[in-house]
Structure 1
Amino acid sequence: MNYESGVIAEKGEPITVGIEDEPLEFEDSQRSSKRRLMIIGGLVVLALAIAAYFVMRGGGTTTPAGDENAQAPTVTVVTPGQTTVDGEITATGTFSARREMPVGVVGEGGRVVSVPVDAGDWVRQGQILASIDRSVQSQQAQSAAASVQVAQADANLAQANLDRALQLVERGFVSTADVDRLTATRDAAVARVRVSQAQLRELRARNARLNIVAPASGLVLERNVETGQTVGAGSPPLFRIARGGEMELQARLSEDALSSIKVGTTASIRPIGTDSTFTGSVWQVSPTISQQDRQGVARIALPYAPGLRPGGFATATIASGTVVAPILPESAVLSDDEGPFVLIVNGEDKAERRAVTTGTVTSKGIVITEGLTGSERVVLRAGGFLTEGETVNTQLAKLD
């Protein structure tokens, strides 16, 4: 046993710790020091966090009401005013011949022996479009011509007999009754000549109708017959001709638009799929409105041009006088499911949605036909990034 570690005290005396207990006391001291350092470090971190919070909150002060505008976004606005512009109405429609002439069989019909024209050809009035076999009719015409000759011979004989009787009646060789009989015979013979001649002319006219001819000069749009085909009076039209080659665009318009158009109004036509434009004029405004779609038709006459084909689709821009309305740049006009609209800044400097009706697009911008008076402050750009009711600062811009 090691007696150097300490002496056991008697009852009532203090205990003296030996050399072996000193390391335990040193370890407890180190633990206490670490604990104090951790507590102090935590307090420092908490203090820094509280300080940072108050810095971010501006030292714990409340932003004055007057500083709200300082934090609001700045937008550029315009006051469009009123501008006088030429009114225009845009419509769509299809091309057709202004005066289309269907040409069919007008005679007895028969087998087609020749078709000298084709679709796309120009024809003159009276030109033969197709010929029908007339071999039987030609024989009938020859027979009728022979009948005319027979009747004429009978009439000549009757006239000669009458002339001789008139010479003999003065001498008393022929009675007046014989003269009357011969005169009647002569008149009947002359009448038979006329009948035969009429029958011949009828046959010749029927034969002439076997030639299908153009009723007027124009452009052949359709050819629906071929050589060898049998046609008759009940056959559908064999040809369709645009008289003079003139075309028209049948533009469909609403009731309001139709009421603002007059006969003689000019229009610019652009066929779909091309950059070419053609100038025409309204020659007829529909007197009725369709009950299905509440629209009418404005017929725009156009001279012949190779780019105008019946059945084609086109856009028409029709002049409709002058209008006084605001004009806005395209960047100011927005659109969504509810239709076109703009954002204006009201008297409280808050963004406000305003539904508008757009008109024609000019070199200066879009005409606003309804929704604005022109005195409003309209957001020029970035309207799509604003919400209705948002407070904004404004910067006024001038329109060119």
Structure 2
Amino acid sequence: MPPRGREWKRTKIVIVIVLVVLALGALRTVVSDIMQSHAVAATTQDNAKQYVSVVLPKQVEASGNTVLPGTLRGYVESPIYARATGYLLHWYVDIGARVKQGQLLADLDTPEIDQELAQAIAQRDQTGASLGLAKSSLARWQQLRQRDAVSQQELDERQSTYTQDVANLTAAEANVARLRQLESFKRITAPFTGVITQRNIDVGDLIDAGSGTSRALFALAQSDPLRINVQVPQAYAEGIAEGQTAIVTQAELQGRKFEGVITHVSGAIDVPTRSLEIEVRLPNPDGKLRPGAYVQVAVHGESRMRLMVPGNALLFRAEGPQVAVVDANGNVKLHTITIAQDLGQTLEITSGIAPTDRVIINPSDSVADGDHVEIAEPQKAAPANAASSKAASSTKGVS
């Protein structure tokens, strides 16, 4: 074969080899791109999945005692205002003083009222003198009329003057009585037996009458017995009745329990709070409990089964408290629940979920009805024997 023929054959072989290599490179690039796109799609799909942790509600028997917060109040509490305007001359009791009904608390100086009373007395005396003259004049004119010395018209005029003076005297006496009553309010006295909880005045203060814009002189509270107004959740309202015993405890008085009695029960459920208001009367003969203190009130009720869920499963929405539940298809359903009692880390639920519902814990704020989620597998703890073996081998290596 001529040399040129062999060279041409070799060239064709080289060209074929180059084309094959280029084709293999292109094929490899295409396959790599396809595999990479599949991997990206799989990663994107995997990242798009929303993994959640779920728990099943725990069914427990709720105790018959319902512990509720409350505030001690005096059985009778009243701010004491001045009825007369004047200056404070003296005060006789301070905060913490125990006073009896009618005891003098303070004295006021009321010069304006004193002058008005003196003027009213003078006007009453003047009206009385005028009435005396009108009475004697009427008697004389009646005698003259009997002798037909005066006309009936003149006698009627004297009778009218006398009647008017009688009415004027009655009005003057009423005005005097009013001012004397007002002057008696210079003495500020206790309306009932109790303890002084506030004193807002001092000697020389100008005291304004009334309770509209003026300040209270004192605040008085009856500390024995005390009363507590408690809001009982609707779920526990059926077991509440007057005469039931309530146990009161205060955190600062460890180990002490005070027994009270439910004396009043509201006849209706409060719509905004869905609770029933009750009043507990609590004897306090030794004065150990003080009005205004925060206490816990244990009210006895019927025992019943409740569902408990973690507190971090709760969602706050416009529809009220809710929890997110995952159905068999992995879709989210928001359930509106009724909370019987908030125990801090757990919630006692009366309605809205079932014992078999899978409740999402730590749900995101954006979770909504119909979202598809994946349930994350719970992390398994290392076996105890494996941990022991590891610790033993470590100890052996050290020795």
Scaled by the length of structure 1, the TM-score of the pair is: 0.53
CA distance, structure 2, for counterparts of residue 297 and residue 143 of structure 1: 54
The structural deviation recorded for 1:156 is: 0.9
| Corresponding position: 1:117 with 2:58 | no
Cross-structure match for 1:150: 126
Is the CA contact (8 Å cut-off) linking 1:144 and 1:199 kept in structure 2? yes
Within a 5 Å distance, the mapping from 1:53-72 to structure 2 comes to: none
Q: 1:304 to 1:179 in 2, by over 3 A?
A: same
- Superposed CA deviations along residues 141-176 of structure 1, whole A, max 9, x for unmatched, are 122112111111111111112212222333343343
Q: 1:169 to 1:255 in 2, by over 3 A?
A: closer
CA distance, structure 2, for counterparts of residue 388 and residue 285 of structure 1: 55
Cross-structure match for 1:247: 226
- Superposed CA deviations along residues 47-98 of structure 1, whole A, max 9, x for unmatched, are xxxxxxxxxxxxxxxxxxxxxxxxxxxxxxxxxxxx9x98322233322223
For residue 157 of structure 1, give the secondary structure of its aligned residue in structure 2.
helix
Q: 1:154 to 1:337 in 2, by over 3 A?
A: closer
Cross-structure match for 2:23: none
**2:158 aligned residue (169, 173, 182):** 182
Amino acid at match of 1:281: V
The structural deviation recorded for 1:111 is: 1.4
| Corresponding position: 1:316 with 2:297 | yes
CA RMSD of aligned residues (A): 4.1
CA distance, structure 2, for counterparts of residue 151 and residue 319 of structure 1: 70
The structural deviation recorded for 1:126 is: 4.3
Q: 1:164 to 1:291 in 2, by over 3 A?
A: closer
Task: Give aligned-pair identity as a percent.
Answer: 25
| Corresponding position: 1:222 with 2:198 | yes
CA distance, structure 1, for counterparts of residue 199 and residue 122 of structure 2: 39
CA distance, structure 1, for counterparts of residue 163 and residue 311 of structure 2: 92
For residue 114 of structure 1, give the secondary structure of its aligned residue in structure 2.
strand
Amino acid at match of 1:98: Y
The size of the alignment, in residue pairs, is 255
| Corresponding position: 1:262 with 2:241 | yes
CA distance, structure 1, for counterparts of residue 182 and residue 196 of structure 2: 25
CA distance, structure 1, for counterparts of residue 68 and residue 198 of structure 2: 28
CA distance, structure 2, for counterparts of residue 144 and residue 126 of structure 1: 28
Larger Rg: 1
Is the CA contact (8 Å cut-off) linking 1:123 and 1:214 kept in structure 2? yes
CA distance, structure 2, for counterparts of residue 178 and residue 324 of structure 1: 93
CA distance, structure 2, for counterparts of residue 388 and residue 191 of structure 1: 104
Q: Which consecutive residues of structure 2, in runs of 5 or more, have no partner in the other structure?
A: 1-60, 314-340, 342-349, 351-380, 385-399
For residue 311 of structure 1, give the secondary structure of its aligned residue in structure 2.
coil
The structural deviation recorded for 1:103 is: 2.1
Cross-structure match for 1:90: 67
CA distance, structure 2, for counterparts of residue 338 and residue 189 of structure 1: 84
Q: Which consecutive residues of structure 1, in runs of 5 or more, have no partner in the other structure?
A: 1-82, 326-335, 340-358, 360-369, 371-386, 391-400
The structural deviation recorded for 1:196 is: 1.5
For residue 235 of structure 2, give the secondary structure of its aligned residue in structure 1.
helix
Q: 1:161 to 1:317 in 2, by over 3 A?
A: same
Is the CA contact (8 Å cut-off) linking 2:242 and 2:264 kept in structure 1? yes
Scaled by the length of structure 2, the TM-score of the pair is: 0.53
Cross-structure match for 1:237: 216
Cross-structure match for 1:302: 282
Is the CA contact (8 Å cut-off) linking 1:219 and 1:245 kept in structure 2? no
Is the CA contact (8 Å cut-off) linking 1:258 and 1:285 kept in structure 2? no
Within a 5 Å distance, the mapping from 1:159-170 to structure 2 comes to: 159-170=135-146
Cross-structure match for 1:328: none
CA distance, structure 1, for counterparts of residue 223 and residue 74 of structure 2: 10
